[in-house]
Structure 1
Amino acid sequence: MEALLGLATWSTLLVCMVIKLPQMAAVLAARSARGLSLQSLVLELSGFLVFLRYQSYYSYPLETYLEYPILTAQDVILLLFVLHYSGNMRQALPYTVIFVGGWYFLTLQKWIIDLAMNFSTLISAASKFAQLQCLWQTRDSGQVSALTWSMSAYTCAILVRFIIMLVLNIWVTATILHYRKTEKTD
Structure 2
Amino acid sequence: MGPFLLGVLNWFCVVPCVFLKVPQIYKLFSNKNTKGLSLRGYLISCSRFTFTVVYHVRHSYPLIYYLEYPFLAVQDLVLIHLMLYYDRRLNTSTATTNIMTYCTYIAIMMLLPIQMMQLLQVLFIPISVFGKCSHLSALYQAKDSRNLSLFNWAITCLTCIGRIITSYAKLGDWLLILKFAVNTTLNFIVSCMIVYYSPSRRQPKKSV
TM-score band by shorter chain is 0.7 to 0.9
1:19 Cα offset (Å)? 0.9
3-state DSSP class of the match of 1:88? coil
1:32 paired with 2:27, answer no
1:147 paired with 2:154, answer no
> Runs of at least 4 residues of structure 1 off by over 4 A?
160-167
Determine the C-alpha separation between the residues in 2 that align with 1:113 and 1:133: 29
What whole-Å deviation, never above 9, does each CA across 1:74-96 have from its counterpart, x for those lacking one? 11111111111121214434433
CA shift in 2, pair 1:51/1:164, >3 Å: closer
Which of 137, 148, 156 aligns to 1:133? It is 137
- Give the alignment's TM-score, normalised by structure 2: 0.69
Which of 112, 118, 122 aligns to 1:118? It is 122
Q: Counterpart of 1:56? A: 57
Whether the 8 Å contact between 2:50 and 2:106 is mirrored in structure 1 is yes
1:125 Cα offset (Å)? 2.6
Q: Counterpart of 2:162? A: 158
Runs of 5+ unmatched residues, structure 1: 168-186
Identity %: 28
1:74 paired with 2:75, answer yes
Q: Counterpart of 1:43? A: 44
Whether the 8 Å contact between 2:6 and 2:166 is mirrored in structure 1 is no
Q: Counterpart of 1:101? A: 104
Supply the AA of the counterpart residue of 1:138: A
What whole-Å deviation, never above 9, does each CA across 1:66-118 have from its counterpart, x for those lacking one? 11111111111111111111212144344334322222222443043332222
Supply the AA of the counterpart residue of 1:109: L
Q: How many residues align?
A: 167
Determine the C-alpha separation between the residues in 1 that align with 2:112 and 2:168: 34
What whole-Å deviation, never above 9, does each CA across 1:109-143 have from its counterpart, x for those lacking one? 30433322222333323221110011112222241
CA shift in 2, pair 1:99/1:37, >3 Å: same
- Give the alignment's TM-score, normalised by structure 1: 0.76
CA radius of gyration, larger in: 1
Q: Counterpart of 2:23? A: 22
Whether the 8 Å contact between 2:38 and 2:138 is mirrored in structure 1 is yes
Determine the C-alpha separation between the residues in 2 that align with 1:164 and 1:107: 25
3-state DSSP class of the match of 2:148? coil
Q: Counterpart of 1:10? A: 11
Supply the AA of the counterpart residue of 1:136: Y
Determine the C-alpha separation between the residues in 1 that align with 2:31 and 2:85: 13
Q: Counterpart of 1:183? A: none
Whether the 8 Å contact between 1:106 and 1:116 is mirrored in structure 2 is no
Cα RMSD between the aligned structures? 2.6
Runs of 5+ unmatched residues, structure 2: 175-208
